[in-house]
Amino acid sequence: MPPTAVTAPMCKYRGRFAPSPSGPLHFGSLVAAVGSYLDAKANQGKWLVRIEDIDTTRVIKDADTDILNTLQAYALYWDEPVVYQTQRLNLYQDTVNSLLKQNLIYGCNCTRKQIKAIGGIYKGHCKALKHNTNTDALRLIQTHATTQFNDLIQGDINVNSALAHEDYLIKRSDGLFAYQLVVVVDDIEQGINRIVRGADLIEPTARQISLFKQLNNPIPEFAHLPLAVAKPGFKLSKQNYAPAISKQNPKPALISAFEFLGLPINANLMDLNIEQLMAWGVNKFNLKQIPHVPEIQISQHPTS
């Protein structure tokens, strides 16, 4: 008999959960937290938490503490100190400086309205205009356009070619570093090699891959979890006031998150404590069981 093919466990797996502190965790963000945690732990990996507070205009006071307390109430313990983007601005500036030195960045003073008027995709209008790179918004010249990638859950993903070739913003006109830049710089600096997150981030993934290439770094694996939606096309989000999940009574929402992720839940699970429940989840988790769909409608918000 030929030997059975075995898959070696991924070595030195490093994963993360990267919430924006714009409100409390809701069921949708719990799914991303639990999915990334279970995949990391099922692969003997490290699970990191990064507070994505770069967009200070959207930060809600104390939401970070509330999110961290909630993770602990769900037995989602991180393995390294929590990182805050607002404490790492030098790191982002260093990356911008190095790209500037390579003449890969130009200033842009086009308004959102102007870009919308030409169809929503930026066509490089300011590239030859030599605007001041100290004051204007900054765009990165796209030299590593990525139009296709493989997702561990969603399969082969093709990206609109015009979008893939866009010189996208890496610094906004209000002086804030753009999410697209910082998320990649952070993932590189934290040595993240598998990214498990919600399918709402599939589209920006191609840009992020292009930046990993631009910065000469290995590209992590991506696994985009189905999004929890209230009705087709409407994801649960802080913006549409999805209710916060309970810190006092975490088991029902955790079991619902397990079910959402394709775990074989049963009625006896309610008898376990939260730590035992999470250990059960790690033991039963299998990325292949996750439905290969971009969204799943949930009938009610499992909050209590």
Residue range at the interface with Zn ion (CB under 5 A); choices 42-50, 78-86, 102-110, 245-253: 102-110
Nearest-approach distance from CB 36 to ligand GLU, in angstroms:
8
Sole binder of Zn ion in the list 38, 108, 182, 265 (CB under 5 A): 108
What are the distances in angstroms from CA 233 to CA 229, 248, 297? 7, 31, 9
Which of 22, 173 has the CB closer to Zn ion?
173
- The terminus-to-terminus CA distance of the chain in angstroms comes to 52
Which of 195, 253 has the CB closer to ligand GLU?
195
* Partner whose binding site includes residue 52, from Zn ion, ligand GLU, none (CB under 5 to 8 Å by kind): ligand GLU
CB 86 within 8 A of CB 54: yes
Which of 71, 126 has the CB closer to Zn ion?
126
Residue range at the interface with Zn ion (CB under 5 A); choices 40-48, 56-64, 104-112, 157-165: 104-112
Beta bridge partners of 171: 138, 177
Sole binder of ligand GLU in the list 197, 207, 224, 301 (CB under 6 A): 197
CB 139 within 8 A of CB 105: yes
* Partner whose binding site includes residue 197, from ligand GLU, Zn ion, none (CB under 5 to 8 Å by kind): ligand GLU
CB 167 within 8 A of CB 140: yes
* Partner whose binding site includes residue 108, from ligand GLU, Zn ion, none (CB under 5 to 8 Å by kind): Zn ion
Number of residues counted as binding Zn ion (CB under 5 A):
4
Q: Does 183 help bind ligand GLU (rule: CB under 6 A)?
A: yes
Helix (H) / strand (E) element for 32: namely helix 27-42
DSSP state of 243: P
Q: Does 125 help bind Zn ion (rule: CB under 5 A)?
A: yes
CB 28 within 8 A of CB 198: yes
Residue range at the interface with Zn ion (CB under 5 A); choices 5-13, 47-55, 122-130, 281-289: 122-130
Q: Name 173's Cβ contacts closer than 8 Å, sequence gap at least 6.
A: 109, 136, 137
Q: Which of residues 16-55 bind ligand GLU (CB under 6 A)?
A: 18-20, 52
Which of 42, 201 has the CB closer to ligand GLU?
201
Q: Does 205 help bind ligand GLU (rule: CB under 6 A)?
A: no
Alpha helix (H) ranges present in 102-190?
112-117, 161-164, 179-189
CB 157 within 8 A of CB 205: yes
How many CB atoms lie under 10 A from the CB of residue 105? 20
Residues that bind ligand GLU (CB under 6 A): 18-20, 52, 183, 197, 201
